[in-house]
Amino acid sequence: CPNQDFILLVNLLHLVSAAEVRAIVSGISQSLAENGRCVIYGPFMRNGVLSSSGDEAFHQSLIEADPDIGYKDDAWMFDLFSRQSLKIIKTLEMPANNLAFVMEKGSIN
């Protein structure tokens, strides 16, 4: 569905592989209208570091179940967003050590 004004993605990216994250973010970029906004919410590492012992335990349980999934690093996400013409407007610290990335799709040149 192209030309969407807003897309919300909640608590998914830690449950899928990096390849699937790239596909999802690409799909978001393709689906957003120019200047459309997106919010991605969930648990992420901060510069490769997990925020709490609870996050460490949960991340470990995820990768034990499937080595291809688990928390993604915020810096990796920022690079991915940039490559998909998604400009970070704001990163919000949320409850339970989660983050919310608020983005806007840039113009297509």
Phi-psi region of 27 (alpha: psi -120 to 50; beta: other; left: phi over 0): alpha
Q: Which of 107, 14, 47 is nearest to 24 (CA)?
A: 14
Domain chopping of the chain, boundaries: 4-105
4-105 is classed CATH 3.40.50.150: yes
pTM for the model stands at 0.94
pLDDT by 10s per residue, the chain, length 109 = 889 999 999 999 999 999 999 999 999 999 999 999 999 999 999 999 999 999 999 999 999 999 999 999 999 999 999 999 999 999 999 999 999 999 999 865 4
